[in-house]
Structure 1
């Protein structure tokens, strides 16, 4: 199995060192870079070899916090998946970070097994959803005014096939799995995904799922 390379940024030394030890015990997952703030992380990424596929990121850090670091990571390293590790459980933190395009949001008190599951899932499927995320989404959507019709919000309407692909993406199916289910090529699915990203303005798979939930295109219960 190809090893998964991970970076971690957290200013709490004891927590960071503990996470490094835990992650390095996972099979075929290795921490290749650690930093105590977002700026140090970005400096380290500039020369990191190998480059990490996943970054575990704390929200509250000096010099450059998790939110600003996430924005810069997406600009400079769009292929790196970002997993937020946070003590903040407020819905607004969870949904805001998912809107920014992070691949997962984990509380710092989760079990090591969930950290491992999240890392493997975001590498394979781009996004990892847990009950914390779904609960935050339900609560936020229930307290907001209904949005306009889907066709009023998009520069162009989604085609029936794009909606079909979107629903399968929400079920965390990979491009090969969707292609097999719809009896088309992987390239065709990649084209539909690119079109969905362009039409919805989403940054990644997490953004597409958020869009689908906000517009009642998917039942949240299928996400777990």
Structure 2
């Protein structure tokens, strides 16, 4: 993981945004690059050369809201990891935001440690799904309460090794950790990850996890 994480906070609630900015600046290796009161202000900052690794975005904002801003970032700045931080716990909304490329989804009543964990995880692994998000994704499939591993209905052919890699990706392991677990080189793991992304047709690691959930390839442990 890079030594310093450049972070943006986008929220129209001044006191909340300012308090979050103070918190971020108090954490070693976190650098608050900008705090913005709305989507257009953040877009302007990016177009003026602001370099961001992680954007923490509220959903309810005047003008360009969080849903629209996330879509814009996925299309124009896909390297930025978007963390939705909101007061909305609606499962359909959670699923929509993750399907639209958000790397994580948190409630505003989360504690400091979960926020830190989430920021570090999305930089390290590309996504972070807590139990609330996993439950929303699980329920969105309208399947049995107990998911079983089966590749019989998967529309693509996944090799045994790719299944092993996919399983470890879903357990929040990065390429180095997967390589150590499977006694393979990091380059080989990168190849399997790229192959999975190409076969599935997704663009992010989170997309691999969504695919695994949809086709019952992992046990969420919920």
Aligned to 2:41: 40
Aligned to 1:137: 137
Tell me the distance in 2 between the aligned counterparts of 1:169 and 1:56: 23
Aligned to 2:127: 127
Aligned to 2:170: 170
Tell me the distance in 2 between the aligned counterparts of 1:75 and 1:190: 24
Aligned to 2:116: 116
Tell me the distance in 2 between the aligned counterparts of 1:92 and 1:176: 34
Cα displacement (A) at 1:143: 5.9
CA contact (8 A) 2:151 2:217 kept: no
Please report the RMSD computed on the Cα atoms of aligned residues, expressed in angstroms: 2.1
1:184 aligns with 2:184: yes
Unpaired segments ≥5 residues, structure 2: none
TM-score by length of 1: 0.89
Tell me the distance in 2 between the aligned counterparts of 1:29 and 1:43: 22
CA contact (8 A) 2:57 2:66 kept: yes
Tell me the distance in 2 between the aligned counterparts of 1:99 and 1:163: 21
CA contact (8 A) 2:153 2:215 kept: no
Cα displacement (A) at 1:152: 5.9
CA contact (8 A) 2:154 2:215 kept: no
Tell me the distance in 1 between the aligned counterparts of 2:118 and 2:153: 35
Tell me the distance in 2 between the aligned counterparts of 1:48 and 1:57: 19
Tell me the distance in 2 between the aligned counterparts of 1:206 and 1:6: 20
TM-score by length of 2: 0.90
Output one character per residue of 1:82-133: Cα deviation in whole Å (capped at 9) or x when no partner. Answer: 1001111010011111111211100011112211111111111111121211
Q: How does 1:63-78 map to 2 (within 5 A)?
A: 63-78=63-78
Unpaired segments ≥5 residues, structure 1: none
Tell me the distance in 2 between the aligned counterparts of 1:198 and 1:30: 34
Cα displacement (A) at 1:189: 1.3
Tell me the distance in 2 between the aligned counterparts of 1:46 and 1:132: 34
Give the number of equivalent residue pairs.
217
1:2 aligns with 2:3: yes
Aligned to 1:209: 209
Secondary structure at the residue paired with 1:118? helix
Change (3 A) 1:159 1:23: same
Secondary structure at the residue paired with 1:221? coil
Cα displacement (A) at 1:48: 3.7
